Amino acid sequence: MAAISREEVAHLARLSRLAVTEEELDTFAGQLDVILQAVAQVGEVAAADIPPTSHSVPLTNIFREDVVTPCLTPQEALSGAPDAEDQRFRVPRILSEDVAS
């Protein structure tokens, strides 16, 4: 049995605002199923006696001292912007107020 259905792929595509053809739905469903199976296999391998890690090798001296350095003024930062308002970049709205569920 597939871990992800065509309908779920179509739902993900809608949420991502991707135009996906019927043929692509089948292709992506198969590809996502392979990915989910691989993730499940990794989960099976993980043993209780192995501590979780974020890096394969220990990290040392990863922090530096906070040093104040010169930076751009708001006017300099916004000087190349196509549009600015209240010392902020003004960009077009990409999400509507009504979110479909």
34-45 pLDDT tens trace: 999 998 888 787
pLDDT band (50, 70, 90) for residue 13: very high
Q: How far is CA 50 from the centre of its chain?
A: 27
- Give the β-pairing of 84-85 and 88-89: antiparallel
63-82 pLDDT, tens digit each:
888 899 999 999 999 999 99
Structure-model confidence comparison of residues 64 and 90, the more confident one: 90
pLDDT band (50, 70, 90) for residue 98: low
Distance from C-alpha of 55 to C-alpha of 45, rounded to nearest angstrom: 18
